[in-house]
Amino acid sequence: MNSSSRLWRECGRVPTWLGAFRVLVLCAMWSSGAYAEPATGPCRGAACAPHKAPPSSKTGCPQLNGLTIRAREIDLPTTGAVVTSTIQVAASGNGPTATGSYCLVAGAIHPVDRSAPDILFNVALPDRWNGKILMLGGGGFNGSIPDVTDNVPSAPTHLPGPLSRGYAVFASDSGHEGTDSVDGAFSVNAEAYENFMGDALKKTHDAALEIIDKHYGTHPYKAYFAGGSTGGREALTVAQRWPQDWDGVIAFYPAYDFTTLSLQQLRATEGFAAPGAYLDTAQRALLLKAVMQACDGLDGVVDGLISNVQACNATFNPATAYVDGKRLRCPGGTARDDTCLSDRQIAALNTMNTPLVFEYPLESGETQYPGFNVYGADLGVGSSSPLEDTVTLLALGTTQPSYPLQSSAMFDGQISDEFVRYTVMDNPNANSLTFNPALAGRWSGRISTLSGLDATDANLTSFMRRGGKLLMAHGTVDETVSTRATEIYYQRLLLTMGFGAVDSFVRFYEIPGMQHGVGTEFNASWDSLTTLENWAEHGTQPVHQVVTDTAGVPGRTRPLCQYPAWPSYNGAGDVNSAASFTCVQG
């Protein structure tokens, strides 16, 4: 649906999602001529015919300051954009990661609803431009602009990032400023939430492209997007909604079904909030030890990693498991000390391990959100790893969930609490821990509508036909975004498009021992950007990809196995070398 038909739709019906106030404002501006309809013309993608010719001359960094971008240059409704500052940044660093001098541009995209925040964005324009652009995704509820000098997720630290490689790099706060990535108060504004769920990606792309065109006097010839978690959802969003704009995307641990994920996170949080259900550090370590003793050898070698996750999930049961020859479950299921787990603790773990099934229809078509691979994960065992604090926060936190949730509570709980109180109920004083996500009562319709904004579309035919390439990767023991959910999305791609089509432009890898972007068991490092460049620009398909551990056993490697395969030990050779493993299925 083009912008004009969308506008007529909003002016001519009773609004459901955008809200009556926003629609009245938009329609009044349209009828008065104050709102400029975005251009609807030829494709604007880097490899497509532009909507207009680029300027014949270059615009210097200082001259970009104050540049205005008209609403019609942005293909979604806005009231235009402006460059708010420019700074020429000197070259820095040494060696392969050195960054050359560049122009740092800050800008703001103005909303249609005057009560909505601006979209704030930055663009880094290197003096030695390689002719390509890359957009970085955010995390959590966003609320701040990602550092445009950063690398893509899980990139090797010794290799140059996009800006150092000569990319023009840009990113935005997704349409609001927050105190941190778990601040969901912005979402009571309809336009702000639509921006967060995807619209800001297109608006930022179009505004950044105008700046890039003017600065260099020419269009980029390749365009890439990279992100993890929320940024992974954003990567899938651009491939689904604006395939003409992108030549390749990297989607790490993508929170693509944000609505149902948030509700599953709430369900898990409520499970651990129950009296006697929370595990202390020693009990988490005991659980991990029990799982390792049961499952570590299922991949052919005891090496501190569970690679055959499917077999472990099928066989491990905390209620019947043993650790050091003794039952993991406390006698009679009654809590005793740190030498066993009670039935209440096992029940909470199983809540996290099992799916949330919705008793009401969702606009997205989802009927459930899967459980997490909780058995085999570091839930916060108190190791000496410098990553332990992050892993602990992203797993169970350090404080049992209770109302109101504290910043030391599990990260999932904080996100889901904000989602329910603000996005769903528009009631900051609501007790989210009493909310039933499976039934939702009078809020079920609201949740259904919100789910329609998720990035669940499994038909990427348009992206494939224009030559787009998609790399997805997910750690097997991610406790923030379920690895099983990404498996479901990939399986839907296969069902929708067929194996041959999907294999021509998608690779999905699972990384044993990696959690949500980090991992004390296996902290993955992989040069996904070079892999994507080689595939999208030279037709070199990803083969024999290798991922390196930087934390569990620094320097060890494993083959990146395309799902559903996993790395199986060959029976001989260095257990820390990828060459000693073969990707197998079953």
Active site residues: 229, 478, 516
d(CA 174, CA 52): 26
Number of C-beta neighbours around residue 555 at 10 A: 10
d(CA 548, CA 578): 9
Torsion angle of the four alpha carbons 404, 409, 412, 415, in this order, in degrees rounded to the nearest 10 = 40
Cβ 440 vs Cβ 448: under 8 Å: no
Encoded tokens for 321:
């498991």
Encoded tokens for 255:
């929170």
d(CA 586, CA 577): 22
d(CA 144, CA 141): 9
Cβ 212 vs Cβ 220: under 8 Å: yes
Residue with tokens 């420019």: 86
Amino acid at 313: N
Please name which of 540, 539, 545 lies closest in space to residue 563, comparing C-alpha atoms.
545
User: φ and ψ at 355, to 5 degrees?
Assistant: -75, 155
Query: Would residue 120 be called left, alpha or beta, if left means φ above 0 and alpha means ψ between -120 and 50 degrees?
Result: beta
Cβ 101 vs Cβ 111: under 8 Å: no
d(CA 191, CA 78): 10
Residue with tokens 């595939």: 535
